[in-house]
């Protein structure tokens, strides 16, 4: 039986998924709860990691190494960097980077770690499924680079700096760790986010207001993807 793992960072990001699957078992590993449901010949594992790249890396590693995930999907919210991304829009990561990695002191480019790369591409098959879902549901899906770092960005200068240095369209705090772990362990992955704020001076207020509604949009998009993945 194949396994699809769905990861969020916060409880709010997975609550809509748990409400959908209703019937699940729970396993605890490393301070996280993993919810295991059976769905049409597939196993679906759902967890929230807690905020940040390290937590997300642990959850993603556990999904692959302890639960044998065949696919990793990240669902949640992000701060919009491009002016054409509005609150509630859905964004698909084409690739991810860690904007807070800096060993330029040794002559490396910003975001680069030796034996790794600045950008890690998401999986084409999963991305094509996301595009198909968007088409079927008439949802305008934007795609682009998503930048991750361990800071909630709520400042125009920092926002501008990330755009200029990484050409990213959205910012969040976990996606790149899903990319690093899944890529190293050869598991296809994708990152779907719905915009909760614009990473500007109002970001904290907008985030609190739109976290739940944007999280629901992302989760329901991912549920439609699951229905297509199980037909692969």
Residue numbers at the binding site for ligand ADE (CB under 6 A): 77-79, 152-154, 171-173, 196-197, 199, 203, 207
How far apart, in Å, are the Cα atoms of 145 and each of 38, 131, 163? Answer: 33, 16, 10
197 is catalytic: yes
3-state class of 139 per DSSP? Answer: coil
Residue 65 host element (H or E): helix 53-65
CB closer to ligand ADE out of 8 and 188: 8
Q: How far is the CB of 178 from ligand ADE (least distance, A)?
A: 14
Q: How far is the CB of 110 from ligand ADE (least distance, A)?
A: 18
Active-site residue identified among 12, 13, 89, 174: 13
Residue nearest to ligand ADE (CB): 79
Active-site residue identified among 12, 89, 174, 197: 197
CB closer to ligand ADE out of 171 and 225: 171
Q: How far is the CB of 225 from ligand ADE (least distance, A)?
A: 21
For 208, the token pair is: 């609190």
CB closer to ligand ADE out of 71 and 99: 99
Q: How many Cβ atoms are within 10 Å of 52's Cβ, its own excluded?
A: 16
209 is catalytic: no
Q: How far is the CB of 173 from ligand ADE (least distance, A)?
A: 5
189 with 72: CB under 8 angstroms? yes
4 with 69: CB under 8 angstroms? yes
- Note the maximum CA span of the chain: 52
Which value, in Å, is the radius of gyration of the alpha carbons in the chain?
A: 17
Of the chain, the end-to-end C-alpha distance in Å amounts to: 13
CB closer to ligand ADE out of 79 and 188: 79
Q: How far is the CB of 155 from ligand ADE (least distance, A)?
A: 9
CB closer to ligand ADE out of 70 and 200: 200
Residues 6+ apart with CB under 8 A from 184: none
Residues annotated as catalytic are 13, 197
């Amino acid at each position: 039986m194949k396994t699809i793992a769905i990861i969020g960072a916060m409880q709010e990001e997975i609550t809509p998924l748990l409400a959908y699957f209703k019937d699940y078992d729970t396993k605890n590993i490393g301070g996280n709860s993993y919810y295991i449901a059976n769905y049409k010949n597939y196993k679906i594992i759902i967890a929230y990691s807690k905020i940040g790249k390290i937590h997300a890396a642990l959850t993603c590693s556990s999904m692959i190494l302890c639960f044998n995930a065949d696919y990793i999907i990240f669902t949640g919210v992000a701060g919009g960097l491009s002016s054409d991304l509005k609150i509630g829009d859905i964004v698909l990561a084409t690739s991810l980077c860690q904007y807070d990695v800096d060993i330029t002191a040794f002559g490396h480019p910003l975001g680069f770690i030796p034996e790794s790369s600045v950008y890690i591409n998401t999986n084409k098959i999963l991305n094509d499924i996301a595009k198909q879902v968007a088409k079927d549901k008439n949802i305008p899906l934007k795609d682009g680079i998503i930048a991750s770092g361990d800071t909630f960005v709520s400042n125009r200068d920092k926002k501008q700096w990330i755009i200029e240095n990484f050409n990213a369209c959205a910012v969040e705090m976990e996606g790149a760790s899903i990319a690093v772990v899944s890529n190293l362990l050869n598991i296809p992955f994708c990152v779907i986010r719905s915009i909760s704020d614009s990473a500007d001076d109002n970001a904290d207020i907008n985030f609190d207001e739109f976290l739940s509604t944007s999280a629901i949009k992302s989760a329901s998009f991912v549920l439609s993807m699951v229905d297509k993945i199980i037909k692969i």
